[in-house]
Amino acid sequence: MLGTCKKDEECIIHQIFGSKGHEGLISVYAEPISSIIHKSAQPQSKIQNVHIATENRVCISFDGTSIQDFGERYFSGAFSFEIDVTRCNNEQLGLLIEAVLNLEKLGRGYNSGYGHIQIKQLQLLERTEMRKLVWKGDYFRVEEEIAEKIKSAI
């Protein structure tokens, strides 16, 4: 049952995301937001179009003077990421897909009126990775080949 852990069996949320002493089942990968080599000032790979900033707010004030402030980090823009679900069973995968489809309703930004998240594309890919030895005249070289097949898209 969702959210209930027993002594010898963790709930589905802890199975997927992990808990103290237990590794989670998923891995999340994303293109870097920024990855620039200092010497050349050239990006190493695709850079995502994302804006990151901090909004400072007054938490406590006395007689019109700020006593304690706090800052909230936020980001905006379009970015993409992938979640490796190869170790998830169908029930766990279903929960993840349901969570992603309802992502806009989660988080403080939406609840505070700052903005929203819009899922533009959600794909379930079957990825096959192969490594093969290729003869290069006087030595072998290992080359990797990745084949992707779209299982479903939303």
Is the pTM here over 0.75, yes or no? no
Q: Which domain holds residue 25?
A: 1-29+83-116
| CA-to-CA separations, 32 to 55, 91, 105, in angstroms, rounded | 23, 30, 25
Reported as a single tens digit per residue, the pLDDT across 83-108 is 888 899 999 988 888 888 777 665 54
Give the pLDDT band (50/70/90) at residue 142. very high
Query: Do 89 and 22 sit in the same domain of this protein?
Result: yes
CA angle in degrees (0–180, nearest 5) for 121-125-129: 140
Phi-psi region of 77 (alpha: psi -120 to 50; beta: other; left: phi over 0): left
Q: Does 109 lie in the same domain as 92?
A: yes
Count: domains in the chain: 3
67 and 89 fall within a common domain:
no
Q: Which residue has the higher pLDDT, 109 or 62?
A: 62
The enclosing H or E element of 70 equals strand 65-78
Residue 43 per-residue DSSP state: B
36 and 75 inside one domain: yes
User: Is the per-residue pLDDT at 24 higher than 80?
Assistant: yes
Same domain for 89 and 74: no
